[in-house]
Amino acid sequence: MLENGTCSFTNCIKLALIRVLERIKYEEINDTDQLRICLRQEAARWACFLGDITCMKVANMKLKQHCEQPKTYRLMPWWKEWTYCKGLMITPEKENTWEIVLVTIPAALIIIINNVYSVNQTKLIEEFVERWKTDLADIINIINNTTNLFISCHVEKDLATQNFDRIKRKILIRNNQINRQIQFYESIRFNQ
């Protein structure tokens, strides 16, 4: 195809990747062939990078399934970045996938915070949240400023900010609880 001038190099590569993915699929069902698993991951990553809309639609579908039923549709660790990044790229503004993602992560963090018994551990969580907040703000800016035909979402910064504020309040509350518990145990220890 390239010899005839009917296909640009990028389009030829994209077409080859699409054909590979049509043959080996996006699913890893009882797949023990490590080479096929690596090929699938690289083909999906590059097909999406080169703008294959089918690849992005598959990532979006997997993300929606995972957000709606995380126990049934678990993401393998090596598919998480691809699923979230590429899946969110084509999430329409009217869908609630962004909201689910921005609510699910803080909800999980709050459960973790409730089960932490050290101020040092809450400090580590707070540092993680600050890094996450910065990264998410950058991602939101990139998405909101993209003029790509396939990216048609506008992410509300307010929702993200509210979630980060909620997590910070929970960390403050948990630190107060931990400090009160420490004071209580110290008072018992010294009174004996």
Give residue limits of the domains in the chain: 94-192
**Mean pLDDT, all residues of the chain:** 79
**88 vs 98: CA distance, rounded Å:** 7
pLDDT at 3 over 60: no
Mean pLDDT, rounded, for 81-107: 73
pLDDT tens track for 136-175: 777 666 666 655 434 444 455 666 677 888 888 999 999 9
Host H or E run for residue 9: helix 9-24
Specify the pLDDT at position 154: 47
Nearest to 175 by CA among 112, 117, 109: 117
The values of phi and psi at residue 140, to 5°, are -60, -45
Rg from Cα positions in the chain: 22
Least confident of 27-36, 61-70, 78-87, 182-191: 27-36
**10 vs 76: CA distance, rounded Å:** 29
CA distances from 63 to 71, 121, 124 (A): 13, 30, 28
Global pTM value: 0.56
Specify burial of residue 174 (Cβ count, 10 A radius: 0-12, 13-18, 19+).
buried
Cα-to-chain-centroid distance, residue 126: 18
Higher pLDDT: 187 or 135? It is 187
Least confident of 60-69, 89-98, 108-117: 89-98
pLDDT at 176 over 90: yes
Identify the top-confidence range among 33-37, 47-51, 171-175.
Answer: 171-175
Nearest to 88 by CA among 161, 157, 143: 143
**Longest C-alpha distance within the chain, in Å?**
91
Specify the pLDDT at position 144: 63
Least confident of 6-10, 17-21, 146-150, 184-188: 146-150
